[in-house]
């Protein structure tokens, strides 16, 4: 009974934090501190992102950000420590990344990690969390300004990693 109550409290807290953070991201936010200038940069259209992968044997990794949820980028059977790197083309402000697994709901990594960089060379680990079926959400409690985003499959799942779309907000 106590575990159930604690779980409900954790779930409610996470929901509140996510909802509070979602209002402050996305298209050119201005928090009233910039005196007319925007602090962040709008996230560009995913079809303009440069997406690459290492260690995962992905087929058609570009499909993970092509704007079509019916297409799928699928890794090799063994993909532990596979990395997907996204070059957004310019620094962007965000605090939520989501991986949609498409028709292969069980094509998720059991644990994923999010790292970011401004120069594509020095990455900072931001957050790691369990992967989930359907859509894996990777929330970050603070705003992140980065040009490069890297997603790592820390622990592989039972099926190849499948990604139909990557969303940043």
Structural domains in the chain? 2-168 (2.60.120.260)
pLDDT of 137 strictly over 70: yes
pLDDT of residue 32: 39
C-alpha–C-alpha distance, residues 72 and 84, integer Å: 14
pLDDT of 119 strictly over 60: yes
pLDDT of 169 strictly over 80: yes
pTM tops 0.85, yes or no: no
How sure is the predictor about 14, in pLDDT bands with cuts at 50, 70 and 90? low
C-alpha–C-alpha distance, residues 80 and 62, integer Å: 20
CA dist list (Å): 68 to 74, 83, 90, 167: 15, 21, 23, 12
How sure is the predictor about 104, in pLDDT bands with cuts at 50, 70 and 90? confident
Q: Higher pLDDT residue, 110 or 25? A: 110
Q: Higher pLDDT residue, 14 or 160? A: 160
pLDDT of 111 strictly over 50: yes
* Mode of pairing for the β-strands spanning 111-117 and 165-168: unpaired
Which of 3-12, 32-41, 67-76 shows the lowest mean pLDDT across its residues?
32-41
At residue 45, φ and ψ (nearest 5 deg) are -55, 130
| DSSP per residue, 100-157 | E-TT-TT---SEEEEEEESSSSS-EEEEEEE--SSEEEEEEEEEEEEEEEEEEEEE--
pLDDT of residue 141: 86
Q: Higher pLDDT residue, 14 or 53? A: 53
> What's the pLDDT tens digit per position in 65-78?
999 999 999 999 99
């Amino acid at each position: 009974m106590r575990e159930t109550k604690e779980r409900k409290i954790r779930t409610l807290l996470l929901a509140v934090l996510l909802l509070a953070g979602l209002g402050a991201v996305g298209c050119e936010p201005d928090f009233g501190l910039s005196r007319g200038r925007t602090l962040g940069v709008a996230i560009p259209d995913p079809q303009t992102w440069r997406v690459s992968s290492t260690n995962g044997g992905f087929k058609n990794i570009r499909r993970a950000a092509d704007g079509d949820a019916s297409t799928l980028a699928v890794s090799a059977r063994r993909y532990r420590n596979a990395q997907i790197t996204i070059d957004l083309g310019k620094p962007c402000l965000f605090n939520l990344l989501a991986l949609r697994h498409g028709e292969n709901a069980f094509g998720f990594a059991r644990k994923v990690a999010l790292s970011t960089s401004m120069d594509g060379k020095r990455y900072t680990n931001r957050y790691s969390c369990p992967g989930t079926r359907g859509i894996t959400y990777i929330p970050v409690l603070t705003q992140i300004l980065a040009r490069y985003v890297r997603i790592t499959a820390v622990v592989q799942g039972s099926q190849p990693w499948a990604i139909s779309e990557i969303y940043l907000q």
